[in-house]
Every structure is written in C-alpha cells, then in structure tokens.
Amino acid sequence: MHKIKLTVAGAVLGGVLGGLVATAPAFADTHTCSGMMRAVSVDNLRVPKGVTCTLLGTHVGGNVKVGQDATLVAHKVRVHGDIQAEGARSMSVAGGSTVGGNIQAKNGGSVAVTSTRVDGDIQLEDNDRHVWVERNRVEGDIQLKKNHDGLLVSRNSVNENLQCEDNGSRVTGGDNTVGGNKEGQCRHL
C-alpha cells in the first residue's frame, strides 16, 4: 500500500515540477559590443556609454540598445526587434539591413538610416546633427520631429505616413512613395 502511495505522490510531484519547467520563461542573453562584430548571432545587443560598435552582417534575435555618447555603425544586419538609441553620438543603419521592429533615435547626434527594410516605424526625434533617411522600405511610418540640423528624406517607400514637424531646419529630398499621408515639413517630399 505504501508503495502505491509513494508512486502516486511521485507521479503528481513529477507532473507539477515538469509543468513548472515546461512553462518557465526563456531568458535571452544580452551581449555587450565594443569594437567590431562580424556575422555572428546574439540574442540582444547593448552598446555601452561612450563606446563605438560596428556590426557587419550580425544577426540579433531581439533588440539593440545604444547608450549615451555611443556610436553604432550597422551594415547588412538582421535585427528581429528594435534598434533604440537615447543620447547616442551617432547611429548608422545601412547596406541592406533588416529590422523587424522600429528604429528609434532620440536626443542624440547624427542619424543615418539608408537602404534598410524596417517592418515597424522610423522615429527620429530631437537629434542635434544631420539626419539622413534614404532608400528605405518602411512598413509603418517615418516620423521626424524636433531635429535641429539638416534633414534629408529621399527615395523611401513608406506603407503608412511620412510625418515631419518642428524640425529646426528645412527638410530636403524627394521621390518618396507614401501609402498614407505626407505631413508637415515633408508634405512636398
């Protein structure tokens, strides 16, 4: 009789613990970049304050976060999540890169997004230096707000809206194909 009770108790406990293991969340690792990374795969990527990170053919399964006064140069990268920069010195995403989420740069220096496919939005706000957005395919919106220096927006294919407002200098460019509306300072582009 005791043998049956122990067997049943063991089966119940094993089922409970097995359920806990099966439902435990997978924690993604965050790789820190300083210097150059070539064609490797990482879960998430962080560029620390003041560091320069160059990505060449790198695959990021999650997000890229660029720290204050840091520089990101990304060429032919695949990012499944977002690229986010807050106070970065500069950020460049180019050369046939693909981003599954959004590209966001705020309160930084120069920003260039060229020849890139973005499944979300490009949102660039309150950057102090030149902003270039050229030859991209964007499924969402391109939103440029309160940037202080020259802006070039040229030859983009935008599924939703192209929105430019309160930028400190004239927005130049043209030949943008937009599925929604061209608004504000970008209405003529």
pLDDT given at position 24 = 37
pLDDT given at position 27 = 56
Q: How far apart are CA 102 and CA 65, in angstroms?
A: 12
Q: Mean pLDDT, to the nearest integer, of 41-46?
A: 98
Token look-up 């293991």 returns 21
How does DSSP assign 21-44, residue by residue? HHHPPPPPPEEE--EEE-S-EESE
Q: Mean pLDDT, to the nearest integer, of 171-181?
A: 97
Residue 102's pLDDT band (cuts 50, 70, 90): very high
Q: Mean pLDDT, to the nearest integer, of 118-125?
A: 99
Q: Which of 90, 126, 72 is nearest to 64 (CA)?
A: 72
Q: How far apart are CA 42 and CA 39, in angstroms?
A: 10
Q: Mean pLDDT for the chain?
A: 90
Q: How far apart are CA 51 and CA 34, in angstroms?
A: 6
Q: Mean pLDDT, to the nearest integer, of 33-58?
A: 97
Q: Mean pLDDT, to the nearest integer, of 11-40?
A: 65
* Domain layout of the chain by residue ranges: 25-184
Assess whether pLDDT exceeds 60 at residue 156.
yes
Residue 1's pLDDT band (cuts 50, 70, 90): low
Q: Mean pLDDT, to the nearest integer, of 142-170?
A: 97
